[in-house]
Structure formats: structure tokens, C-alpha cells
Amino acid sequence: MLTCTLVLLEMGYDKEEIQRRLMELKPLEMRLQLKKGKNNSSIIDDSYSNDLASLEIALHFLSQQNQYSKKKLILSDFEGERWTPKFQEKLQKLLSLGSLQEIIFIGSRLDNIFVSSDTQRTVYPDTDTLLQNIGKHDFSESVILIKGARKYRLERLSKLLTEKSHETVLQINLNALEHNLKQYRSKLAPHVKLMVMVKAFSYGSGSFEIANMLQFNNVDYLTVAFADEGAELRRAGVQLPIMVLSPHESAFEDIVRYKLEPEIYSVRVLKAFIAYLQAKGLTDYPVHIKLDTGMHRLGFMEHEVDEMLEILLRQSRVKVRSAFSHLVGAGDPQLLAFTQQQISLYQRLVKKIEKHIGYSFIRHICNTSGIVHHPEAHMDMVRLGIGLYGYDMTSTALDLQEVGRLKTTITQIKRLPMTETVGYDRKGRLRKDSVIATVKIGYADGYSRRFGNGVGEMMVNGHVCVRWAISVWICVCWTLPILMQQKEMRL
Ligand SMILES: *Cc1c(COP(=O)(O)O)cnc(C)c1O
């Protein structure tokens, strides 16, 4: 921004115009791609460019990864940087910050760079020599940052270390997720805690990748649907408190082993969990009481609260960490009266629970649309769900970004006259001579059957293709790659 400002000043633009134009500056895509590597590893592919500033960003991103304890760096020489003593000093300093287990340098100038004695260090003159010697390095159980200048063509290395994947991928933009998180956060008073729903593997968009980002952004709580999702996050090094929405008895062992916190939604679950803790000799285990104020899925109904309290008062195995409820229609103005009724019933029940158990706990009722439409009900914490993933059906107040893109490539292109049809049952009738492409995606890749027969849309290089009444396998297009937009991902 400073550079732009100075250039514009030099060129004689006035202050107002400069200010206006600076507002139009967009942050650069960081190009950091997190991929699944072979032998239990993660690859951070940042092989587009190399300079100290982007190296610092990439090392920072590397340090946010907790899924494997070992961190490694493959670094090529720099392009376009003058190799001064000052530059060398800066680079050395940067490399010593990240507590790296191993650094592999490519380029003989890097021979002069020394790093801490705890870091294993190898220098190769060029990428080819590294590729020939790749077997000498152990990359298992590691997060590996591949960072290099274009001319070193490190994409060959990243291809070699990455697990083979199909050409059909669901890309998740972590920057967009972070942006959406900040949008909702801006709606919260400073004392309001933020719980983020990462159930069903973050609404289908990932697991530790997203949890690491949320942990880095200091959210207060994560929530999963089942204990095994929570266990996976713990094994990937996620330390945040994690609530489990649906804690089956068979999962109690995992819940305790991985320090997960169950939602208690019925007398049966409460008794069973207390009995389990008793057998293990544990006390004061944090639990979350779910109150049913109108959703009528899980939770204690008002008439069951007395029985729950009686049980709670007789024991010291569990400790209420929070009591919460779920709003049915927080974003629907026609349901305003019902929402208000839910909130006041909730408040009445919570007061009663607090009075009887004699200590306070976290109170929360707002989901995504509650955050936007009911700031008066934020209480101690809110639970952000679908909005984080870029979908908020009830509000346009926030500037949300699309998070997921389902991408594939074209297998074959055909030119067909108008008289032909495409696909099963001759359903794909052409309205004119057409160019038809077959793409590498099917139902097994998550492409919904509902998108068939002309319902779904695909984009080729950013342009929506003409919609045809044809089967899902085929679409008209001219160039690579195809990009599909799933318009709906509500669970
Ligand atoms: C899924 C879920 C949420 C999040 O709801 P959104 O509408 O996606 O924000 C909040 N609370 C509970 C109990 C949930 O199961």
C-alpha cells in the first residue's frame, strides 16, 4: 500500500483519489496449498515464487499445522534477490525461528546458510539431484513446506511427495473461511465466546485443516457430531475444548481418552455417563446440558429438568460447563414470536438450573442466523455453523465468501450435429450443432443426482456453460478446466 501511495503521489494524484483507489486493493492470493502427502504427511506447496516476505508467510502457515509433530522445509535459492550479508543474516534468522527438524536446500549459494544444530541440513546443487536422492530422506509423520522460485520447478517434487489423487477435487479456500469467521466475529461483543461447529468434518469441507485455522484464530470451542471426529482432531494436535453433540455410550471411552466434552441430552445419557465416570474414578468431568425449547430433536424438555437436577445434585462426577438450546427459526421474521418464546423459556430453565446447582456455567443459544438477527441473545457464547462455510440463507448483512469449489477436468470433446442426442434415454436433445465435453466426475465424487437433467450448472474457465437437458456426465464446453459450483451444501 505504501508503494502504491508513493507512486500515485509522484504521479500527481490527489489524496481523495489515492484513498479511493487504495480501498480497491485486494489481498494477494497466498498460493499456499495444503495437500495430503504419502506415508502420513502433509505437503504445503508454495512453489510459485520465492522471496523473504512470502517465505515468512509460508513458515508461519507451517507453524500452524499440528497434525504431525515434525516440520520440514525444502527451499530453493532465491530469484531476483541481491545476495548481501544483510540478506543472508535475515534468511538465517527466519530459518532458525520455526524449530525445523530438517532443511533441504537447493542451489549452491545456500551452502553458506547455517542453521541450528538441531536441524538436519542437506544441500543439493539443483532439483534433479534432489529428485535422484529423494529416497535418502524420511518424510513420514511430517509437515513439509516446499518453497521455491519458479525456475527450480519444485512442482515435480510436490507431485512426487503428494498422494496420487483423481483430477476431481473439492478445493477449500482457507482464506475465505478465515474471512467469513472475521465477518461473524465483528458482530460479537468482546466478552462473547465463539464456538464453531466443525461437525460432519466441517460441513464436508475438511477436518484438522480447518480446526488448525480456527485454533490459530483463537476461537473458544469446537463442536463435532460424533466422538470419532473429535478423536481425529485430537490426534492431529488440536488442543481447543471440543463438544460432542451425539455421545453414544460406546464412545464414552474415546470421549474421556481424548478429553472431549459430551452433550447431555437425556436422563438416560446422564446416568450412563455418570456411571462410566464412577467406574473410572473421575470427578468434575465437563458436560454440556442440551435443553429442548422447541427444536424437538435432542434435549431435555421442561418437564424433565427437575429429574435431571435431582441426579446432578446427588453426584460430583460431572460438572456443568454449559447449558444451551437451539433456535428453530432465528432468521425468519415470521417466527419472531416463537424465537422470543424459545429464548425466554431457555432463560427460565437456565436460571432454575443455576439456582439449584449453585455455580454458573456458559449460556448459549444462537446459531449462525441467531448471531446476525438476535444480538440480544448472544449471552456468553454463540455457535457459528453454516455461515462460516459461506452460506447464510437469512441475511445479506455480511460479506461472505464462497469456500468450496468442486473441480474436475475434461476427458473428451465431441462435435455433434443438432440431430444427435446425448446420454441415457436420449434425454440430452441438442438444440443446435454443439460441442460436447465429457468430464471426470460422477455421483461417487459427491456430484448430486439432483444436478442431472439440466438442473446443475458447470463453469469452464469461469464461464457458466449453456444448460442442457442432459445427464450429469456431460456438459458443453470449450476449454479446460471445468469448475462446478454447488449451489447448496446445507446438511
Ligand atoms: C449445527 C448446529 C449449530 C449450527 O447451526 P447453523 O444453523 O449451521 O449455524 C448450532 N447448534 C447446534 C446444536 C447444532 O447442531
Per-residue pLDDT at 488 exceeds 70: no
Residue 249 phi/psi, 5-degree rounding, is -55, -35
Q: For the chain, what percent of residues have pLDDT higher than 90?
A: 60
User: Which grid cell is 383?
Assistant: 455457535
Bridge pairing between strands 169-172 and 404-408:
antiparallel
Per-residue pLDDT at 28 exceeds 80: no
Would you say the CB of residue 368 lies under 6 angstroms from ligand 1? yes
Range in 185-199, 231-245, 408-422 the model is least confident about: 408-422
- Which atom of ligand 1 is closest in space to residue 387's alpha carbon? 9
Average the pLDDT over 90-103 and give the result: 89
Domains of the chain in sequence order: 33-165 (3.90.190.20), 171-389 (3.20.20.10), 408-490 (2.40.37.10)
C-alpha distance from residue 341 to each of 337, 349, 377 (Å): 6, 12, 12
Q: What sign for the dihedral angle of Cα 156, 160, 161, 163?
A: positive
The band of 397, judged by pLDDT with boundaries at 50, 70 and 90, is confident
Would you say the CB of residue 245 lies under 6 angstroms from ligand 1? yes
- Which atom of ligand 1 is closest in space to residue 290's alpha carbon? 13
- Which atom of ligand 1 is closest in space to residue 386's alpha carbon? 8
Calculate how far, in angstroms, residue 367's C-alpha sits from the geometric centre of ligand 1: 5
Q: Kindly report the average pLDDT of the chain as a whole number.
A: 88
| Residue 382, phi-psi category: left (phi > 0), alpha (psi -120 to 50), beta (remainder) | beta
pLDDT tens digits for 205-215? 888 999 999 99
The band of 479, judged by pLDDT with boundaries at 50, 70 and 90, is very low
Q: How far is CA 419 from the centre of its chain?
A: 47
Would you say the CB of residue 196 lies under 6 angstroms from ligand 1? no
Range in 14-23, 109-118, 351-360 the model is least confident about: 109-118
pLDDT tens digits for 228-250? 999 999 999 999 999 999 999 99
Q: Are 108 and 95 in contact (CB under 8 A)?
A: no
Average the pLDDT over 331-359 and give the result: 97
User: Which grid cell is 39?
Assistant: 506415508
The band of 482, judged by pLDDT with boundaries at 50, 70 and 90, is very low
Bridge pairing between strands 428-429 and 482-484:
unpaired
DSSP codes of every residue in 315-362: -SSEEEEEEE---S-TT-GGGHHHHHHHHHHHHHHHHHHHHHH-S--E
Residues designated as active site: 199, 424
Residue nearest to atom 13 of ligand 1 (CA): 326
List of residues 6+ apart from 207 with CB closer than 8 A: 198, 201, 229, 232, 233, 236
- Which atom of ligand 1 is closest in space to residue 383's alpha carbon? 10
pLDDT tens digits for 360-374? 999 999 999 999 999
Per-residue pLDDT at 112 exceeds 90: no
Residue nearest to atom 4 of ligand 1 (CA): 385
Place of cell 537447493: 106
The β-bridge partners of 421 are 429
Comparing CA positions, the residue from 445, 434, 438, 435 lying closest to residue 411 is 438
As a whole number of Å, the CA-based R_g of the chain is 27
Would you say the CB of residue 353 lies under 6 angstroms from ligand 1? no
pLDDT tens digits for 284-328? 999 999 999 999 999 999 999 999 999 999 999 999 999 999 999
User: Which grid cell is 19?
Assistant: 484513498
DSSP helix/strand/coil, 468: coil
Q: For the chain, what percent of residues have pLDDT higher than 70?
A: 93
Average the pLDDT over 381-410 and give the result: 89
Would you say the CB of residue 371 lies under 6 angstroms from ligand 1? no
How high is the pLDDT of residue 312?
97
The band of 486, judged by pLDDT with boundaries at 50, 70 and 90, is very low
List of residues 6+ apart from 94 with CB closer than 8 A: 52, 55, 56, 59
Q: When comparing pLDDT for 488 and 318, which is higher?
A: 318
How high is the pLDDT of residue 142?
95
What span, in angstroms and rounded, lies between the C-alpha atoms of 326 and 339? 10
Average the pLDDT over 150-164 and give the result: 86
Per-residue pLDDT at 111 exceeds 90: no
End-to-end CA distance of the chain: give it in Å, rounded: 41
List of residues 6+ apart from 279 with CB closer than 8 A: none
Calculate how far, in angstroms, residue 268's C-alpha sits from the geometric centre of ligand 1: 23
Per-residue pLDDT at 391 exceeds 90: no
Place of cell 538436519: 120
Q: Is the peptide bond before 481 cis (omega within 30 degrees of 0)?
A: yes
Would you say the CB of residue 197 lies under 6 angstroms from ligand 1? yes
Per-residue pLDDT at 81 exceeds 80: no
Mutate to test the pocket of ligand 1, among 223, 291, 372 (most ligand atoms within 8 A of CB): 223
Residue nearest to atom 1 of ligand 1 (CA): 385
How high is the pLDDT of residue 490?
28
How high is the pLDDT of residue 394?
78
Q: Are 221 and 193 in contact (CB under 8 A)?
A: yes
Mutate to test the pocket of ligand 1, among 219, 367, 369, 389 (most ligand atoms within 8 A of CB): 367
Residue type, 25: L
Calculate how far, in angstroms, residue 377's C-alpha sits from the geometric centre of ligand 1: 15
What span, in angstroms and rounded, lies between the C-alpha atoms of 213 and 230? 16
Would you say the CB of residue 198 lies under 6 angstroms from ligand 1? no
**pTM for this model (two decimals):** 0.77
Per-residue pLDDT at 33 exceeds 50: yes
